[in-house]
Chains A and B, each alone.
Chain A
């Protein structure tokens, strides 16, 4: 976003004042040499900075170039822009214009009055420039855009030192610049350097002794080979590349936690990096796998994990942001190009147009993320896309990878870096290379994926893993059965006896009431009683048995109000969302419903409970054409018609098209009601007046009569015949089937009876649920095997005639397994529910537990009912073992990867070797490691860079070969300290650009921590695995790269942050600081205290008694072990003095040795790399 530029008052004044300046009488005559010098020193730099982007080699807006004196004189397509010798002119006019649409430059700060006056004076003085003035070079000819060719190795005959090609290039430059080299580093220094460099850990004393005494010419090579072959090499250099490739563990809102960026499973990509490096996988292959592992090796999971490179950039809230990061960092990391600058406008320095930017984006446009199950681990489920206001959970299961989800996804051009400014007129942008690097052979062909790639669940390992999981669960369940049977058998007799007693008590009481002959039910023997004296009871039914719903269908039921408050019957619009379609409410004397076509309540009639109207027959004729129901309510107590065919809303209710529609009975606090004889009547022939008279019973298609044996007395209706409870129920209310409506005196006994029954149930259900679990698991195994078989047949290349038969079998067995599993779940929940209900009635926690258990049981009832009814569906469908993805991939990223890693790409190898060089030498050959463009730094050793790049490519991009070549050179092995003989070099090349000596380094934060722990033998060398939290970084011992790395506060350990831990958002090059807090960490932290204590003891214990007699050997051992060198004479003296007892100081020798060890850990030479 650019801000509008202010009109500066001072500029106005300056412009106004200019003619006065020009007319100043005492000005000396212009001198051409002076003017030319002004041009070179001041005018040209000013024009370069402010004007070239649009008026130079890259662009010639208005046909004007300002990048040479001559082209300025040549002017624009509108004619000359100045007249030499005369102040003012178009150029001056445009840079000083008050009109923002005319004023140049169009972006950024205005030219200052001083700058304008300077240009004006130069014009007035004749606008002269030196003869050798050159225009800006063609950016397309920029060195890094030309394919590198292998340069000849300088033939420096007679120079023994230049045998190694790297040395030859370096020495050649020294000879040209008359520089002398620093001497080779002492062996001990070199050893420590190469250890820290290659594996990030210091050598031991033993390594030091061995190397010091190895006089063979290949002593160094042996060490190097050993280190490169050791697994810590992959960890050390893996961390370096993690910097460049922006490794970050998941973040977003860690405190919630909510995953917005990267992914919790991204550590598999980190492990892939380490493994790939240790296997010396070619750099080109690594880059290709990171960009397109899913396309180039679709069956290789590891290559899939490599695409973590793209997943790391993911941002849940805004896909455009994801695309921006992919473009920016693919450009920077692999190509050393700042494509991001072309996001809002054409690049100011490089020939990258804004359209090139979108072309690069288009390569990534179709991608999405999926998470595949890892064999032997539970299923992670589908990848969770972002949904506003839904947390994205931390899912650690499975492996994340990229795939082309939307091949048709369109890339749009937009302006100002804001995707809202889409320029639809430009059409969609196809993927393509930047024009200036285009390659005729570049082609995108789509990739046909093998089944294992588009259907990851088809992998034998995954399917076997599902089987193994089920077998294991089955054998666990089977092994538990005998013991369960024994306990149940032991407990049952007493409980049954207690139940028999209560049953007798209840029967007696009922006898005493003499109600055996008095049937209080509305019809038949029993009714459904809903008692909301406290709480609220809502029960629902899905009517799944209903197969069609005709236009002349009626609902009819009987109802009795025992306590009048609020009772309603509803047609449900959506159970899960708690939405209603239509309703009939009985509310303190008023019958309410919704007005047709709305959810607005209106009164349809009245009833009088006090006057004896408490039994009703409700009929609702559904008229789907008009989306209404005709409501009739008859008071059966006095046979009065209260509501007669009044139109009420239906609101599109149709349970046959939506399983979440059905019916609801809702009894609210204070009300008690009984329901009976609920019927849904589908009339085959409509009566003339369309009313529900004289309905033949054969037309009844759904009916609930609440009669035994299906409905047992005093049992809750929930769980029976498809009735389930609703989330809107509130504790305290009941819904049960009874014949003795209104007989309150029996209720407390009924509760007791229920409790005794449930105590028996609770025991029996233990066994039953386990038995049903075993059946379910057996069925699951059969189903899984059948699904595997059906999958195999389905995906065989030659179509098989019996494939459908296999599918039908799989489908049937799957439904069996699902039903049995749901049943086992139901029994398990019922067991918990029964156990809660079996608690003594006066138990304080009973009600709460019953409520919680009942909720879960209700859900299980619902799930079982659904599973049970699903079996009626005949289908060849069976669930797959994973989601199924597109069978082809666009091949865009494969094409991009091939181009990036192609032999002709001028940038990739140069950028890579520069990164490697930086980390060996503390300083790169091209200072701007992520910008090899025109505005980047030129290489200090262009030929060396090209030689390395070509050598790298021609040795199959082997990183280990590159490391070996570098660290065995004499250039690498030089001393970092300048001797007295190098005063000249220090003087002319203080920055050591010519590599006349080695650069001093400092351990990276990981190396500081790892080396501290390693020195005391504490470091755990286990490789790989899920990331650890930084809060554990100072008390656990894994290598530092395994601790969480992300940009939030806990993304670095306190210790790591102090020593410049990498910035996960952008760390092409690390910063390196020296701050007092580092000293505090190395002196005061518990970690260093612990290490000092342990190490002092270890070192002491390794000494012989004779050696322990004086402190000298301890000092030497400590120096060798901690600093990889022997102390100098003076150092030894200082340490001896420190260890000797003093009056005011430490007198305990053990403590003194600890103190000394801590001092050496704080020695500059511990963290410094000499």
Chain B
């Protein structure tokens, strides 16, 4: 067989679709061993997907739009806080308390077509039909208008209420799962009965470059607190390298195997890492086009540095006393949430792109009974620390670099839950709930959307949970419609729509 001589021929140009293959790119430059540095740089934070179905579609890690924010702190309160008793108070509930929906002057929300559209039980109907409770339960707390914006917030948020002019509320969110798998749904965009999708954080991890090579781009604090809510930080077909990395708040062992074994001296380990590097580099000379080897060399360099960088990032030793007080670290009620939020601030300061914070354990906010007691106590655990975070971000000038999301999986029913002789609680409510955002790219002191007079249905089209994803991704400069990989068709529902109205200016 004869071999034809070719002039130096370049790989097909994929510039039209903006996704040239990495391998093609490397070989275009005729890179040998000298290309190592660039190769490593392209593999960003030492993370490299080889020979996956994505090979030829690795994201460019270049934003699609000019980003409006660098990092996102995503605070998730598990169990479903009552939108009514937090950020969407409804006078009609007091006015018509004890009355059934059909007796009020309003349209009966239960008979609305929206009821079925935005409510899908995991349990088959032949197994269990979930009751809808129609008797109106009055507001369990008072509320006031706050700040110049005059936004209503209930009296359980005295500290946060002071910052209301910095917050932007979205009061017409909806989801479809009326059970706690909705915790996964708000993070993945899919109902329990649908095929699971990568979580919002993992798409960001996949699509964005790093700002700090020594730390992961996607860090999780305090969760997920239950084994079956792993999808909320997972990456599925994007590969585990894009999943959230849970950090423990113990600086001694913030991540698994993150600490040099006690029996090894620092020098000893350094010598080992040096020799690993040296031997792998000798291999790299022999296999000049082995991308995986280069990535591995880089991964070892990073691993060595992570051993110090990660503990440093969550070590509060350098924080001042006043900062500690600001986050409520000096108080047992607020300490747990405060530590996580302070750690989150330290991580975004160091360039982590997405910090997913679980201030409370799985199902904590679930208040089928004793809603007043539960919410009084629970609001007091996060009100001060979250307010502290906002104030801290402001005083550090980070409100233009960081966006905060504060959310839960669903709201709670305007009706009184009667199950098991219930007399003082509300059931799960996917049909309408409230989240808020603050910081970079987000309007301040603004309310977007509303629920009906009874707080039942999100009005208008409302916002399905992926609208939140689209918005967050857009702020980071990403178009989620361009984050798709072959063989993994994303549906319309997965993409969501940017909530343009809450942005300070249109993006893209």
Contact = CB atoms under 8 A, between A and B. Distances in A.
Interface stretch (B149-157, B294-302, B331-339, B439-447): B294-302
B330 interface: no
Interface stretch (A58-66, A806-814, A1162-1170): A1162-1170
A1146 interface: yes
A301 interface: no
A508 interface: no
A1074 interface: yes
Interface string B221-253: 000101110110000111111000100000000
Contacts of A320: 124, 193
Nearest to B8: A987
Interface in A1037-1054: 1047-1051, 1054
A300 interface: no
Given A977-B287, A1138-B271, A1002 B123 contact: no
Given A317-B122, A1050-B227, 4 more contacts: A178-B3, A178-B4, A320-B193, A1083-B273
B283 interface: yes
A1054 B493 contact: no
A931 B292 contact: no
Contact of B224 (A927, A1049, A1083, A1162): A1049
A1078 interface: yes
B258 A1080 contact: yes
B6 A1155 contact: no
25 contacts: A3-B492, A107-B492, A175-B1, A178-B3, A178-B4, A254-B227, A318-B122, A320-B193, A388-B127, A420-B125, A928-B486, A990-B11, A1047-B228, A1047-B231, A1048-B227, A1049-B226, A1074-B43, A1076-B299, A1076-B300, A1078-B299, A1080-B307, A1145-B267, A1145-B271, A1159-B276, A1164-B293
A991 B287 contact: no
A1077 B245 contact: yes
A542 B306 CA distance: 73
B21 A991 contact: yes
B195 interface: yes
Contact of B303 (A253, A419, A1077): A1077
B145 interface: no
Given A107-B492, A254-B228, A1058-B240, A1076 B176 contact: no
Contacts of B452: none
A1130 B43 CA distance: 28
Interface string A1129-1170: 011001100100000111000010001101110111100101
B46 interface: yes
Given A1-B493, A1000-B292, A1050-B227, A1076 B302 contact: yes
Contact of A1083 (B53, B230, B272): B272
A1073 interface: yes
B116 interface: yes
Contacts of A251: 228
Nearest to B117: A1
Contacts of B126: 319
A1163 B280 contact: yes
Given A6-B497, A988-B6, A1081 B230 contact: no
Contacts of B282: 1128, 1130-1131, 1134
Contacts of A1047: 228, 230-231
A253 B192 CA distance: 14
A314 to B, nearest CB: 13
A1073 B272 contact: no
A1081 B256 contact: yes
Contacts of A1073: 47-49, 239-241
B464 interface: yes
B303 A1083 contact: yes
Interface centre among B227, B241, B297, by most chain A C-beta atoms within 10 angstroms, is B227
Interface residues of A, number: 102
Given A254-B227, A340-B195, A1083-B303, A1076 B283 contact: no
A792 interface: no
Contacts of B4: 178
Contacts of B230: 1047-1049
A108 interface: yes
Interface string B191-207: 10111100000000000
A988 B3 CA distance: 13
Interface residues on B, range: 35 or more
Given A931-B487, A1073-B47, A1131-B279, A174 B1 contact: yes
Interface string B35-73: 000000001011111111101100000000000000000
A534 B486 CA distance: 75
Interface centre among B21, B23, B286, B292, by most chain A C-beta atoms within 10 angstroms, is B292
A234 B287 CA distance: 33
Nearest to A1161: B276
A1155 B268 contact: yes
Interface centre among A1, A319, A388, A1151, by most chain B C-beta atoms within 10 angstroms, is A1
Contact of B193 (A3, A255, A318, A1168): A318
B420 to A, nearest CB: 10
B378 interface: no
Contacts of B265: 1146
Interface string A983-1011: 01011101100000001111000000000
Contact of B53 (A927, A1076, A1131, A1168): A927
Interface string B251-275: 0000111111101110111011101
Contacts of B55: 991
A1135 B9 CA distance: 41
Given A1049-B230, A1128-B282, A1164-B280, A1074 B23 contact: no
Contact of A988 (B9, B231, B271): B9
A109 B494 CA distance: 12
B275 A1138 contact: yes
Contact of B296 (A1, A1138, A1164): A1164
Contacts of A987: 6, 8-9, 11, 27
Interface stretch (A698-706, A707-715, A1063-1071): A1063-1071
B345 interface: no
B120 interface: yes
A418 interface: yes
A922 B176 contact: no
Contacts of B48: 1073-1074
A6 B227 contact: no
A1080 B293 contact: no
A1081 B257 contact: yes
A798 interface: no
B19 to A, nearest CB: 14
A931 B488 CA distance: 11
A1074 B245 contact: no
A923 B127 contact: no
Contact of B46 (A253, A978, A1074): A1074
A1084 interface: yes
A107 B255 CA distance: 44
A386 interface: yes
B266 to A, nearest CB: 11
A1069 B236 CA distance: 12
A1146 B257 contact: no
Contacts of B240: 1057-1058, 1060, 1071, 1073, 1075
**Which 9 A-B pairs have CB atoms at the shortest separation, nearest pair first?**
A1071-B239, A1079-B303, A1073-B241, A1048-B227, A1076-B303, A1049-B227, A1076-B302, A1080-B257, A318-B124
A210 interface: no
B278 interface: yes
B102 interface: no
Given A388-B123, A1071-B237, A990 B23 contact: yes
Interface in B168-209: 176, 191, 193-196
Given A180-B1, A1159-B272, A1163-B279, A978 B289 contact: yes
Given A317-B127, A1074-B296, A1155 B271 contact: yes
B290 interface: yes
